[in-house]
Amino acid sequence: MKKITVLGNFSGRNAGDAAILGGLLKDISSLYKHVEFLVPTINPRFVKESYPIYNIKPLNLMPWNLSVKILGLPLMRAIRQADLILVTDAILFDRKLYNPLFNYLWTMSKALPFAKRLGIPVVLYNSSLGPVHSKAGKKALTRVVRCADLMILRDKDSFELLEYLGLEHPAIFEGADCALNVEPAIDSRFAKMCEKARLFESHRHVVGFNINSYVDAFVREDGSSFGRDNLVELYAETVDRVIEILDVDVIFVETQHMDMGIAEQVMEAIRSKDRIRIISNKQYNYKEISAVLKRCDLFVGMRTHSLILSAAMGVVPVGILTYPKNRGFMRTIGMEKNLIAFRDLTVDRYVELIVNTFEHRENLKNEMIPKLIEEKTKMQRAAALLQPFLSGYSES
């Protein structure tokens, strides 16, 4: 039995992270037999119950297990027990570098050299690199890159960052986000969910929206500040005008628990309350959320994985450039023109972008789908690249 330790942020609070783990488990398990996945997490119950068809063992990261988030004894045990270590998602950035409750990069820069000393291979699996701005962050990322036996990177920004830092690697490949492999729910539970939440009751078109509570946390890095109250007011006015101009219904699709507070503020400020609904991953899993996204005619999001999940469902996304990974993904699928930066964000400009995208959504979808197919192919191909580390365990 080969043991694969998967390092990421799998707490159950973020539907995108849950979809990443689901896609990774699906791709690797389809190619290799007799493998067990070790997943460090602060929520073992979520991991165990969310992926029951896979051979998965959650490792508890709570403080009584001598761990501060990812930093601690469980991580060392997960490394020692592994035959292969996969680092996935976008956890290698230097914001709050020395805060293990928020940042993984510094911990990875210490833990992965330990794995290398033990002779355990490390793969950056469909990962993103950066952003890094500080000298310490660049040093930590360099250490991580040098520990990797194989790098499979999911966006152009990561390759450009390597070039900027002057880092080379002998085994580097293009990959894609594992969440692109999501399968939407189609069962009776989903039908009951739609009935309970009163979704898709009318024959009108539906536009999905998503808002992020981190409005200032990332914007301030470029010297500007937008403000939570301003964003709530802008979002509410934008939704009202989109409903008025396009005669659509609106569903807020929140993919991170912490965003529910600001989403509810926006809902309260919207005048057309009879035309809006809300769902979140507090009640529904990533497959059910994806199924809702699939039935939207357009999706307007701030969270990166809300954009990724909507695109995976074939729905054209519109986004705010809240942080670089939004740009990285939208560049990859040829939809960067559907992004608006905070410095340009006004109600008029946002509504204009949304309305224009809605009116041209079929042409944009035809542009997006071929690139999306390429991304899904790269994502699935990543599992085959693990063959040198899992020799003899491929499905015949």
Q: Which of 116-120, 143-147, 194-198, 253-257 has the lowest mean pLDDT?
A: 194-198
Within this chain, do residues 170 and 194 fall inside the same structural domain, yes or no?
Answer: no
Q: Which of 103 and 193 is assigned the larger pLDDT? A: 103
Q: What is the pLDDT of residues 28-38, one digit of tens each?
A: 999 998 999 99
Q: Which of 393 and 149 is assigned the larger pLDDT? A: 149
Residue where one domain finishes, among candidates 147, 175, 203: 175
Q: What is the pLDDT of residues 294-322, one digit of tens each?
A: 999 999 999 999 999 999 999 999 999 88
Within this chain, do residues 151 and 235 fall inside the same structural domain, yes or no?
Answer: no
Within this chain, do residues 168 and 200 fall inside the same structural domain, yes or no?
Answer: no
pTM above 0.95, yes or no: no
- Measured CA to CA, the distance from residue 85 to residue 151 in angstroms comes to 12
E strand or H helix at 107, and its extent? helix 105-117
**Close Cβ partners of 134 (under 8 Å, ≥ 6 residues apart):** 94, 97
DSSP per residue over 202-262, as a string? SSS-EEEE---TTHHHHHGGGT----HHHHHHHHHHHHHHHHHHH--EEEEEE-BGGGHHH
- Measured CA to CA, the distance from residue 21 to residue 15 in angstroms comes to 10
Within this chain, do residues 94 and 132 fall inside the same structural domain, yes or no?
Answer: yes
Mean pLDDT score, 97-116: 94
**Contact 391/33 with Cβ under 8 angstroms?**
no
Total domains, the chain? 2
Residue 130 lies inside a defined structural domain of this protein: yes
Q: Which of 4-8, 101-105, 226-230 has the lowest mean pLDDT?
A: 226-230
Structure tokens at 109: 């820069």
Within this chain, do residues 119 and 194 fall inside the same structural domain, yes or no?
Answer: no
The secondary structure of residue 7, as a DSSP letter, is E
Q: What is the pLDDT of residue 220?
A: 45
Mean pLDDT score, 275-281: 94
CATH number at residue 259: 3.40.50.2000
Report residue 392's pLDDT band, with 50, 70 and 90 as the boundaries. Answer: low
Q: What is the pLDDT of residue 225?
A: 66
Backbone angles phi, psi at 210, to 5 degrees: -145, 140
Within this chain, do residues 234 and 266 fall inside the same structural domain, yes or no?
Answer: yes
Within this chain, do residues 278 and 353 fall inside the same structural domain, yes or no?
Answer: yes
Within this chain, do residues 77 and 212 fall inside the same structural domain, yes or no?
Answer: no
Q: What is the pLDDT of residue 130?
A: 92
Q: Could you list the residue range(s) of the whole structural domain that residue 296 is in?
A: 188-374
Mean pLDDT score, 280-307: 95
Within this chain, do residues 205 and 295 fall inside the same structural domain, yes or no?
Answer: yes
Within this chain, do residues 164 and 37 fall inside the same structural domain, yes or no?
Answer: yes
Within this chain, do residues 326 and 222 fall inside the same structural domain, yes or no?
Answer: yes
Within this chain, do residues 366 and 220 fall inside the same structural domain, yes or no?
Answer: yes
Residue 390 lies inside a defined structural domain of this protein: no
Q: What is the pLDDT of residues 220-252, one digit of tens each?
A: 445 556 788 889 999 999 999 999 999 999 999
Residue 76 lies inside a defined structural domain of this protein: yes
Q: Which of 192 and 161 is assigned the larger pLDDT? A: 161
Q: What is the pLDDT of residues 264-274, one digit of tens each?
A: 999 999 999 99
CA distances from 247 to 45, 85, 119, 203 (A): 42, 50, 60, 11
Residue 181 lies inside a defined structural domain of this protein: no
**Contact 44/62 with Cβ under 8 angstroms?**
no
Backbone angles phi, psi at 199, to 5 degrees: -95, 145
Residue where one domain finishes, among candidates 175, 209, 237: 175
Residue 379 lies inside a defined structural domain of this protein: no
Mean pLDDT score, 365-386: 94
Q: What is the pLDDT of residue 215?
A: 72
Q: What is the pLDDT of residue 15?
A: 95
E strand or H helix at 40, and its extent? strand 35-41
**Close Cβ partners of 119 (under 8 Å, ≥ 6 residues apart):** none
Compute the mean pLDDT over every residue in the chain, rounded to the nearest whole number.
Answer: 92
Residue where one domain finishes, among candidates 145, 175, 205: 175
**Contact 58/41 with Cβ under 8 angstroms?**
yes
Residue 123 lies inside a defined structural domain of this protein: yes
Residue 381 lies inside a defined structural domain of this protein: no
Residue 164, Cβ density class (10 Å: 0-12 exposed, 13-18 middle, ≥19 buried):
exposed
**Contact 298/353 with Cβ under 8 angstroms?**
no
**Close Cβ partners of 149 (under 8 Å, ≥ 6 residues apart):** 121, 122, 123, 171, 389
Residue 17 lies inside a defined structural domain of this protein: yes
